[in-house]
Each structure stands twice: as structure tokens, then as C-alpha cells.
Amino acid sequence: MRSSDMHEEAEAMLEYNEKRGKIVVIPGTVDARKTTTLKKQVLGHLSRGQRGLVVVFGDDIAYKKWPERQRDRGKIESLIVTSTAELSGYLSQRTGLQFVGIDNAHLSGPELVSICRRLAWNGAIVYIAGQTQDRLRRAYHTMIGLMALADEIWHPFPAPRCYFCGYSVAPLVQLTSRQIPLDGQPNEVDWSRVEPRSVMAVPCCRGCFTYSSEDAIVGRLQDLGLDTTQERHTEITGSLELVTGPMFSGKTFTAIGMAEYITRVRRRVAVFVHGEATKKSKLVSHSGSEWKPAHRVANAREVWDQVLESPRPEWVIIDEAQFFDPDLVPICVYLAQLGYQVFVSGVNLYWSEEPFGPVPELMALADRAYLLTAMCSRNDCKEPATRTLRRSASGLPAEYGSLPEKDPGGKEKGYEPRCSKHYLVPGHPAYATVDLALE
């Protein structure tokens, strides 16, 4: 029997969760209009007469007003919570939610990830708004988990601009005193004389950001024994961009296009690829396009060493980032801080729907994370694919925890892009017990 026939026969036996909803993440700094975006979606669902819930984490009164007003009009249910346990308790008595909006998700515990997963599994469209990193450049764990699982990522548009220079895109959050003039720099503030109530958080670019002595990125690099007293590479503000998505979604193709473009405008580029992904010193996309030369490296440390060697590139492109060690995260962020334009591509989710390597954390710390999609491999499906399904030799989706099979050439096989409706991992613990009694 041909393998495609076998796949079709196996497919016919499976029952996919066609009523599965989706997870939409709205990330951004303060003042990125995340709440406005969330509210617009909720009002859209209400205008279609759908039933839903709005959840606000934390105790900031400003965020509670609009959902409470809608609730008082009897339009929605709203819930102000400080813990995910409260939310779980509430959901256990609810059925038939068509949409759920969650604001300030970064203030919740990491259990929110599995709650959202199950809400989507039970058919709800889940919108999640939240900041992705704090002012010490630590990514919020909840947001890492949710961005990895997202079917869609909606970055605010237009992007928030830096409060200090008013020019560059602002991925960071800087605390400042309300009294400081618009053209002032944050480091001119005498913090000992600032009253706590007059402090506010503002969006800030990498160029204007004041690095705290407790800065998490610098701390991680020092723990690795790397020299963090590097001179700024250029006066230009650096950036960190990421393209991610399942297999066959065109990530390497995009990285190659980027490298070609940078060369055309006569900038210096250094391209890196992880040695586990290829045996050759070049990038090759599934569609057959190529880029060489690329540095084939075994770990993130080699990227650091080669970039900081002269002649220094202006652009740094890193492909197959999912195979790298976690050190890739502070190294990419630090290079952006020095003024490099860093462009990373890699798979965000392992075939068993778990975060793949350092990519999800990079999604949270990047200025922009573009989630590319492939075409769902089911012939009858029109949804974009955000997952990678793995088939076992029998043609059925691989069991959770099973090891990938290799063909005689040593290549792993049996991967297909799938939408989240046509995606299954039998035995996955996240779906083993569904304690939320939703329909």
C-alpha cells in the first residue's frame, strides 16, 4: 500500500475536534492599546449576540471599568481576579462560552496557559492581552507559554513609539517620574526624591533605555562568563525580529529573502544556522531557494564569538533557532542592545505542542514576532496551519512521548503542517483531563 493511501485510511479513523476555537495573543508594552484592541473584539462578538466572558487580572481600576459597564448592562460576564485558581473555580461552573477576553494576562500565574488551551479546545475564541517583559527584561512565563501556543499574534499597529526620542519602535518598558520633561532622559531623575505615586511606566526604545544593575539579560551573560562591557556597535538603534511558525511555513525562505535584501542595500550581514539542521554551510528552504555562505555553528556562544570578531556585520541572521541552547536568548537581546539588527527564524512548537527550544522566549523579548502559517495538509481544510503533526509508521498521529523515527538517511520523517482543528497528539497530558465543564 502506498504511504499516502495509508495516511488517508488512518485519517478516516480519526475524530478531530472540528469545533476547536483559537488562541489570539495581543502582546505589547504599556500604552500599546492592547486593551482597546481586546475591547473592540469583545464588542464585535456582542454585536453578533454571542456569549462570553471578560477576565481582568490585577487590581488596576482603569482596566476594570469597561467590562463592568458591559456587565451592568447585562451584556457579558466579567470577572476581576487576582489568581488563576479563582478563574478555574469560576469556569468549572460555566458552559458554552463562545469568546473569552483576558486582560493583563502577564499578571496571572503560569496555569493560565493550560486554562486557555482548554478554553480553545472547548470551542472558545480566546483573546489574551498582556505585556511580554518587565523593566528588567525578564519575559513573563505565562506570556511565553501563550505566545508559543497562539494561532494568531496581533502586534499593535501602529507600533508604540519611544517616550523619550519619539522615533524608534519601543519594545521595552521604562519607569519614569511624571514630572520629567518630554526631552529628558530617564537617568536624569533623582529617584530618591521621587514619590512612588508620581512614577509611571512608559514605552522605551533600546537606544534610550537605561539598563538597571539588576538587568536580567546582562546578568545571564555574566553568568556565562561573557564580557558585557562591549562598546556600542553603532549609533543606530538595534532591533530584534523573529519569524516563527510550524514546519513548511516559509521561515527559512523569509530569512534568505532578508539576507538577499540586506546585501542588495550593501550592508554587511552574517548568517548563522544550527549544525543539527544541516550538514552544509548554507541555508536551504523547502521551496529550494538557497543562501551561502552561512556559519554552521553548534551553540549560541559561537554566534557571540563570530559576531564580535571584526569585521563586524551590521545584520545578524540566525536560522533554525529552535535547535539552539537557551543562551541564544540573552545573546540576541544583547546584540540588539549594542545596535545590531538581529533577525531570527525558528519553529515555536515541538510536534507535541510543547515550546521548542529558545524560540518562545525570544517571541516574548523580540520587538516583533511574526507568526507565519503553512497550509493545513488536510485536503478539505481551508484553515492556516500553526502546528506540526507527526505521524508514526502506522500512519496515525504519533503518541505523546514517542521518539521520532528516522529514515535510512538519518532524516526525521513524517511531519505535516496542520491547523489547530486538525491536530492531535494522543495521550497528551494537557488534554487528558478536561475539568472545565464547557460545551
* CB nearer to Zn ion: pick between 35 and 386: 386
Q: Which of 54, 113, 125, 205 binds Zn ion (CB under 5 A)?
A: 205
Q: Say which residue the cell 486593551 belongs to.
A: 35
Among residues 135, 184, 188, which one has the least CA distance to residue 164?
184
Tell me whether strands 341-347 and 239-245 are parallel, antiparallel or unpaired. Answer: parallel
- Please select the residue that binds Zn ion; options are 220, 374, 422, 424, rule is CB under 5 A: 422
Cα–Cα distance for residue pair 83/118, rounded to 1 Å: 17
- Which residue, 344 or 376, is less far from Zn ion as judged by CB? 376
CA distance 139 to 216: 9
Task: Tell me: does residue 194 bind Zn ion (CB under 5 A).
Answer: no
Q: Evaluate whether 241 touches 363 at the Cβ level (below 8 Å).
A: no
Give the three-class secondary structure for 144: helix
423 binds Zn ion (CB under 5 A): no
Q: Which of residues 274 and 422 has its CB atom nearest to Zn ion in the complex?
A: 422
- Distance CA(275)–CA(396), nearest Å, equals 30
To Zn ion, the closest distance from the beta carbon of 207 in angstroms equals 5
Name the minimum Å distance from CB 237 to Zn ion.
Answer: 7
Residue 173 as a binder of Zn ion (CB under 5 A): the answer is no
Asked if 159 is part of the footprint of Zn ion (rule: CB under 5 A), the reply reads: no
Shortest Å, Cβ 235 to Zn ion: 12
Which residue's CB is nearer to Zn ion, number 104 or number 237? 237
Q: Which of 332, 419, 425, 436 binds Zn ion (CB under 5 A)?
A: 419
Backbone φ/ψ region at 222: left (φ over 0), alpha (ψ -120 to 50), beta: alpha
C-beta closer to Zn ion: residue 31 or 77: 31
Question: Per DSSP, which regions of 199-268 are E strands?
Answer: 199-204, 239-245
Tell the smallest beta-carbon distance from residue 204 to Zn ion (Å).
6
Nearest by Cα to 357 from 389, 320, 326: 326
Catalytic status, residue 383:
no
Residue with cell 526604545: 205
Binding mask 338-377 for Zn ion (x = CB under 5 A): --------------------------------------x-
Burial group, residue 321, by CB count within 10 angstroms (0-12, 13-18, 19+): buried
> Given the complex with Zn ion, which of 141 and 368 has the nearer CB atom?
368
Which one of 214, 320, 383, 439 is the catalytic residue? 320
Candidates 171-179, 208-216, 293-301, 334-342; binding stretch for Zn ion (CB under 5 A): 208-216
Among residues 63, 66, 164, 272, the one that binds Zn ion under rule CB under 5 A? 164
C-alpha cell at 39: 475591547
What backbone torsions phi and psi does residue 363 show, to the nearest 5 degrees? Answer: -60, -40
Among all residues, which ones are annotated catalytic? 320
Residues engaged in binding Zn ion (CB under 5 A): 162, 164-165, 168, 205, 207-208, 376, 378, 381, 383, 419, 422
